[in-house]
Amino acid sequence: MPFLVPVDTGVPLAAPTFWIVAHRRALGRQPSTLYNELRSLMWLYLWAAARGVDIQQRLREGAFFALTEIIDIVNFCGRFTADALQEIDERSSKLSRLARRRKDSGRSVQSAEQRNRLAAISSFIEFTSADFLSVLAPWPQRWDHYNAVRTQCLDRLRGYTGGLAKPRRDDLGLPEGLEAAALKRLREVIEPDHPDNPFQPEVRFRNYFIIRLLLELGLRRGELLGVKLSDCNLGSTGSLTVHRRPDDPDDPRRDKPSAKTAARVLALNGRMTELAHEWVVHYRAKIPGARRHLFLVVNSRTGGPMSKSNLNKIFEALRHRVPGLPAELSPHILRHSWNDAFSETMDRKGIPGAQEVKWRARLMGWRSEFTARNYLRRTVRRRSNEVLKEMQDGLNIAPLEGVS
């Protein structure tokens, strides 16, 4: 569970802790999401440190923030951390720094990051001030005044946030699945006996099994690392269940992986069931320390549950040691590749679009079918270009006389 902790005290701040536990975590947010939201909220407290403002006092007394301060907060949230910390350091120093003060870099973070910071700040102010507002219920006039100032502050803050440049809507340079040649190369080189396999012999089958799971099931990194032996049905009708286990007490990893998507049961074909059985019985069972826990994928040296960084190193080795694989190869890129393959299968089978959307959402664990757009860039481009070419081929335009 993440907390916002000032360096000078080492004690978590009470108001952000209450906000993240009672409000954000109660909505089912994953630890990684809570961490990112606290990182965003941190900018309100960085601004307060740079300006000498007591956030809790402002909210408790109903003073909130003046228009100039709101504009300053918006601008401050667009800065890089080094620039913000430099300003705080200069303000807190008792020595004159005028002679050696560095100029602000003038750099700004991307508008999406700035919007995330301001969204967390707005949520925190709204939630925390609601608690103070509820206390004023016995005094209607004080309640009305506090609520009016609160509403005005939140409206202004959200107004400036909404005015920031929105992320681009084109798909140039955004993640896509692997090209056919790269995907073929990956499937070949991960075979344990392939001459270009970049891994040590003792981890080749494990890494082969990991990448096959990512390719065949479209799992997220956190979902894969969170699978337990009890989630695997390796009988005649094999299956693997993805569970949401936030803050799992049985997980000894400091940075616990988590499933962002909904729990679901995914079918395994005969070959994938055989691979899972072989990994569990003939490989995992022989690794010292692996019997101390139930997680499916383990560290080959310690036997403990595999960490995110350990999994990342597998893909780092593939990117750096295997010619023909793209620099952006990652577990998430393989999730995009799964979606490309799913679309091609639906096209071959002639499955109606509405049915395809529902099936995809269930297999991916998405609560909203709208999420699919982030994984369909290659498919949308392929299908739209096919239609465009068909339209062009159907245009029988006779050449003009005299024009060769």
Nearest of 137, 133, 171, 169 to residue 150 by alpha carbon: 133
What is the residue type of 84?
Answer: A
Structural domain including 79 reads 14-96+105-162
* Confidence (pLDDT) at 32: 80
Written as six digits, the tokens of 201 are 């012999």
Residues 288 and 357 in one domain: no
Residues 311 and 369 in one domain: no
pLDDT 10s digits, 34-75: 889 999 999 999 999 999 999 999 999 999 999 999 999 999
Residues 234 and 207 in one domain: yes
Residues 21 and 154 in one domain: yes
What are the strands, taking DSSP E only, across 118-237? 232-233
> Do 193 and 201 touch, CB atoms closer than 8 A?
no
Residues 224 and 301 in one domain: yes
Residues 25 and 86 in one domain: yes
> Do 319 and 211 touch, CB atoms closer than 8 A?
no
Helices (H), 268-375: 270-278, 308-321, 331-349, 353-364
Domain end position, chosen among 259, 281, 315 = 315
Residues 150 and 50 in one domain: yes
CATH number for 237: 1.10.443.10
Residue 64 covered by a domain: yes
Residues 26 and 64 in one domain: yes
Nearest of 255, 294, 268 to residue 363 by alpha carbon: 268
* Confidence (pLDDT) at 176: 82
Residues 261 and 364 in one domain: no
- Counting other chains too, the contacts that 393-401 makes at CB distance below 8 Å and 24 or more residues apart are none
Burial of 376 (0-12, 13-18, 19+ CB in 10 A): buried
**Total domains present in the chain:** 3
Cα–Cα distance for residue pair 49/67, rounded to 1 Å: 19
Residues 118 and 222 in one domain: no
Cα–Cα distance for residue pair 118/73, rounded to 1 Å: 8
Nearest of 88, 77, 133, 143 to residue 110 by alpha carbon: 77
Residue 41 covered by a domain: yes
* Confidence (pLDDT) at 97: 42
Residue 326 covered by a domain: no
pLDDT < 50 positions in the chain: 94-102
Cα–Cα distance for residue pair 374/305, rounded to 1 Å: 30
Domain end position, chosen among 251, 284, 315 = 315
264-267/232-233 β-pairing: unpaired
Written as six digits, the tokens of 106 are 């003038």
pTM over 0.85: no
Written as six digits, the tokens of 262 are 């909904």
Residue 183 covered by a domain: no
Domain end position, chosen among 315, 347, 366 = 315
User: Please, what's the b/e burial string for 4-17 (b: 16 or more CB within 10 A of its CB; e: otherwise)?
Assistant: beeeeeeeebebbb
Residue 169 covered by a domain: no
Written as six digits, the tokens of 331 are 């577990």
Cα–Cα distance for residue pair 86/81, rounded to 1 Å: 8
pLDDT 10s digits, 83-124: 888 888 776 654 334 334 445 556 778 888 999 999 999 999
* Confidence (pLDDT) at 273: 96
Residues 142 and 225 in one domain: no
Residue 191 covered by a domain: no
Quickly tell me which residue has 């999994």 as its tokens: 311
Question: What secondary structure does DSSP assign to 3-44, as a single string?
Answer: ----TTT-S--HHHHHIIIIIIGGGT--HHHHHHHHHHHHHH
Residue 320 covered by a domain: no
Q: Is 240 helix (H, G, I), strand (E, B) or coil?
A: strand
Residues 122 and 229 in one domain: no
Residue 308 covered by a domain: yes
